[in-house]
Amino acid sequence: MNPQVSAISERLAAVRQRLAAAARLAGRDPASVRLLPVTKFQPPEKVAALLEIGENAFAENRVQDLVERATAWPQAEWHLIGPLQSNKAKAAAEHAAWIHSLDSVELCQRLGRLAAAAGRRPKVLVQVNGTGEASKSGCRPEELAEVLAAAAAEPALELKGLMTMGAVDASDEDTRAAFAKLRILRDQHAGVYPGLTELSMGMSGDFELAIAEGATLVRVGSSILGDRT
């Protein structure tokens, strides 16, 4: 095993240990939380290293990067976690297995049409901006019902859950509150949408707080892959 693969394997194991400990502390089965390595802006050899040690699902922030890597490594499951613009919806529909960032009725409808035309059915999550930060994407909590209805109405989309991001430089208490808000929103709408089971929240700096509040998908990049070099 070359040094880079070995280093990534060690960091990955350490993150998995932290994930398991956080889940047990919350009274949860560690298997109920899926770790999603974020490969955005990382060199291709680090993606290859992850594949070599048995990982097969990765997240990218930009559609063009996801398309390039999904083409290079079609055996992997590719998640789009960054904002999705309408003009990139076709490429996302054709290459992403999961899209975490639906945030409007119009985007749901456009993606649904394009996925149907491509003969695909990506799994999708609605992104909620629960912190009110102008710099963050996502629908407002009061818009969620309308966006969920639009996503559920598209046969070519498989509605799976919700996604959010914690506030920058927030206290642990405020971060947990933001994650708890997403869980409450999910629970409020799950009666209408039984498939609404996933909570994509938590990154390198706060994934343990997210697990405490019910995260089922945590998106971790630098803690696994190191600096983007």
Is 175 within 8 Å of 208 (Cβ atoms)?
no
DSSP reduced 3-state for 77: strand
Helices (H), the chain: 3-25, 44-52, 63-72, 89-95, 105-118, 144-152, 172-189, 207-212, 222-225
pLDDT at 19 over 70: yes
Per-residue model confidence (pLDDT) at position 133: 76
Lowest mean pLDDT segment, chosen from 3-7, 76-80, 82-86, 105-109: 3-7
The string of pLDDT tens digits covering residues 121-157 is 999 999 999 877 777 889 999 999 999 999 999 999 9
Domains of the chain: 3-223 (3.20.20.10)
CB atoms within 10 A of CB 75: 7
The string of pLDDT tens digits covering residues 87-124 is 999 999 999 999 999 999 999 999 999 999 999 999 99
Lowest mean pLDDT segment, chosen from 76-80, 96-100, 164-168, 216-220: 164-168
pTM surpassing 0.85? yes
Please, what is the average pLDDT of the chain? 95
